[in-house]
Structure 1
Amino acid sequence: MRPVPASRVLLLACLTAGLAWCGLFPGGLRAAPRLPQPRNFTRSAHLMGSHFTFTAVSADDSLAWRAIRAGIREAQRIDRLCSYWDSTSQITQVNRAAGIRPVVVDQEVFDLIRRTLKLSELSGGAFDITFAGGEKIYTFDRQEHAALPAPEVVKASVARINYQKVLLDPATHSVMLQDKGMRINLAGILQGYGVRRAQALMKQMGIQGGLINGSGDVSCWGKQADGSLWRIAIGDPAFPQSVSSWLTVTDVAVVTAGNYEQYFTVKGQYYGHIIDPHTGYPATGLRSVTIICPDVELADGLDEVVFVKGPEQGLAFINGLKGVDCTLITNDGRTLASKGMQLNYYHSMGAPASQTPTTP
């Protein structure tokens, strides 16, 4: 076989390169196809008795919708497992057996209850899932009431509230409520847990940026489709449907709880629906609490702790925690913030334009 002259090798290489480039431009030289660009895909759902919004950032619309549907199903699964209102849930089974026998629950449920008890201990009982055993002696109807219930009635209403009487057996992962009439309700932390689990599932499926909002329990990761971080607004209790401040964040949870939609007044004094489990009286002093930390489940529980402790003690409690910040709005309209908190405040009632996500 004769060797090919170097001049012919060079000519063949040029011809081959020419043929390759011909497909890249118009009129014989075609442009390279554009890669799909990421977009924000959003869907809403009614879950755990609240309004949820799921946003996935992806260049693959099929993947985005699959991940969102998976996140919704995960929240639904957790609700069926842990709902206080579902007659078949494991929490209902524990409550039915109060004072009688322990109930074996899934490891997942056992671990969740154990974490709530650790938060109860950390907060000195300000957070307590046995609040469900308290008597309902208030009507939060936004009306003026003549007086608070009698002190003996208030005291009796919290007689069955005591997180220390939730007995856990790690060997059998069983739960028992020590006294008859006790009940547990995970409502103070369940939405945050649902958001956390749904987010983990969506990330596992390949969604590198997204945001889940479970009725004020927000957790975000990655970036928006345009490359920007997530802007989380904090409402103004004095002006419904308005915004007092905002944060620009990623890979963090921002959980806001308000005490101004369910309330009553006595002689002009405002009483919100969050009850101090120690005293039986509504927690006073705060209208809104926003917690910022990496774990949305923890943030969901901490907002209630701060409400119960009140402005000064609540702020001091958060300042003593590592990696957690908060901002508070008091009954008299003051905004307080923890030592590491950085907020952007609105100087007018108008909110800046935000990116509109794609919806199905």
Structure 2
Amino acid sequence: MRVLPVLVCSLFFMLSKGQEPKDVTVKQTLKLMGTRFEITVIAPNEDIGYINIDEAISEIKRIEKIISSWDDASETSLINKNAGIKPVKVSLELFHLIERAKKISEITDGAFDISYASMDKVWKFDGTMGKAPSEAIIKSSISKIGHDKIILDADKQTVYLAERGMRIGFGAIGKGYAADRAKELLVSKQVKGGIINASGDLTTWGTKATGEKWLVGIANPLSKEKVFSWLPVVESSVATSGNYEKYIVLNGEKYSHIIDPRSGYPTTGVHSVSVFAKNAELCDALATAVFIMGRDSGIHLINQIDGVEVVVVDSDNKIHKSSGILFDKNQ
């Protein structure tokens, strides 16, 4: 029965000295949406931190149940099953996500397109491919792709894929969207700061427990341990698309695993693209689009969008950036 007075006295002594309990950093890494998520929160103690992380995990799993094309019960699978047959009524959340995806397709001239999932897989990146597919095969592989074939009816809240065999997929925007929603949830619960990192697509808020800014490193694609520059990510997001691991070399030319949905050909000329914006969803989509569009067209596009910046590392390992990026190369 003497424990309580001792604790109260200890706490009073600590506060009387002008000290406050220090926040701690709590981190968990796990596989979600088929990829590696790392969730970091700043919390008063570890127990509360892990409770916050569990809430973020539940939110990400909820989103996966809506957008997964691997889950037969998901709304996305239902849309795909009814391609060329009938419109499908969906949740307002999914309707708005598809609506935003179509807008990004329009501003990128189709370099980003969620109907890329309709593509027949004719390119192999497992070392078994000795030559490129014929032009006819490539043309046929993309015949069902086209964001204009995704028909939305706002009044009825329906989505209709105009051709049989069409499919949509959220591989180039879903992780960013999930990171945004998990962050939104934690901010609503007064979590002071943190990072949701979805395999390189990340969003931040607040600061580290020390009060310092969150930083992201722009890495050398040929040596990931070497960082070209550190950039602060304050109440903001970043997503990176790269060809570090999955690519093929045909006739001396290196082809990325990222396929241009407009041509059916793999992209060349770029090693990595990092896009900075307020929302991870937008970063995720635009990183893919800029990678496909190429260095000059991609940077030109980003320079026209307020609040968005980009760093591009080309195939010669040279760094290029949009007008609002400032680095200190001595860092």
Q: What's the TM-score once normalised by structure 1's chain length?
A: 0.85
Name the structure 2 match of 1:197: 181
How do 1:146-185 residues align onto structure 2 when only pairs under 5 Å count? 146-185=130-169
The structural deviation recorded for 1:283 is 1.4
8 Å contact 1:291–1:324 — kept in the other structure?
yes
Q: Which amino acid aligns with 2:253?
A: Q
Name the structure 2 match of 1:306: 290
2:277 corresponds, among 284, 293, 298, to 293
The structural deviation recorded for 1:35 is 2.5
Give the distance between the partners of 1:117 and 1:144, measured in 2 at CA: 35
The structural deviation recorded for 1:41 is 1.0
Give the distance between the partners of 1:55 and 1:233, measured in 2 at CA: 17
How do 1:316-331 residues align onto structure 2 when only pairs under 5 Å count? 316-331=300-315
Q: Which runs of 5+ in 1 are unaligned?
A: 1-22, 348-360
- Matched residues, number: 321
Give the distance between the partners of 1:236 and 1:78, measured in 2 at CA: 33
Query: Aligned pair 1:41/2:26, yes or no?
Result: yes
Query: Aligned pair 1:75/2:60, yes or no?
Result: yes
Query: Aligned pair 1:86/2:76, yes or no?
Result: no
How do 1:332-351 residues align onto structure 2 when only pairs under 5 Å count? 332-345=316-329
Name the structure 1 match of 2:237: 253
Identical columns (%): 35
Name the structure 1 match of 2:42: 57
Distance 1:239 1:182, change over 3 A: same
The structural deviation recorded for 1:345 is 3.7
Give the distance between the partners of 1:147 and 1:44, measured in 2 at CA: 39
Give the distance between the partners of 1:287 and 1:30, measured in 2 at CA: 57
Max radius of gyration: which structure? 1
The structural deviation recorded for 1:257 is 1.5
Q: Which amino acid aligns with 2:112?
A: F
Give the distance between the partners of 1:269 and 1:244, measured in 2 at CA: 26
Give the distance between the partners of 2:258 and 2:157, measured in 1 at CA: 30
The structural deviation recorded for 1:329 is 0.6
Query: Aligned pair 1:230/2:214, yes or no?
Result: yes
The structural deviation recorded for 1:279 is 0.8
Distance 1:49 1:343, change over 3 A: farther
Give the distance between the partners of 2:330 and 2:173, measured in 1 at CA: 30
Other structure's SS at 2:39 match: strand
Q: Which runs of 5+ in 2 are unaligned?
A: 1-7
Q: Calculate the aligned-residue CA RMSD, in Å.
A: 1.9
Moved over 4 A (4+): none
Name the structure 1 match of 2:120: 135
The structural deviation recorded for 1:59 is 1.9
8 Å contact 2:273–2:287 — kept in the other structure?
yes
8 Å contact 2:123–2:129 — kept in the other structure?
no
Distance 1:24 1:166, change over 3 A: closer
CA shift digits 1:148-170 (9 cap, x unpaired) = 11111111111000110101111
Give the distance between the partners of 2:151 and 2:274, measured in 1 at CA: 31
Give the distance between the partners of 1:248 and 1:151, measured in 2 at CA: 45
1:268 corresponds, among 252, 275, 295, to 252
Q: Which amino acid aligns with 1:99?
A: G
CA shift digits 1:137-187 (9 cap, x unpaired) = 00112x485321111111111100011010111112111100001000011
Q: What's the TM-score once normalised by structure 2's chain length?
A: 0.92
8 Å contact 2:220–2:317 — kept in the other structure?
no
Give the distance between the partners of 1:30 and 1:101, measured in 2 at CA: 70
8 Å contact 1:144–1:266 — kept in the other structure?
no
8 Å contact 1:130–1:183 — kept in the other structure?
yes
1:120 corresponds, among 92, 105, 117, to 105
8 Å contact 1:50–1:214 — kept in the other structure?
yes
Name the structure 1 match of 2:3: none
Give the distance between the partners of 2:64 and 2:227, measured in 1 at CA: 30
The structural deviation recorded for 1:30 is 5.4
Other structure's SS at 1:187 match: coil
Name the structure 2 match of 1:8: none
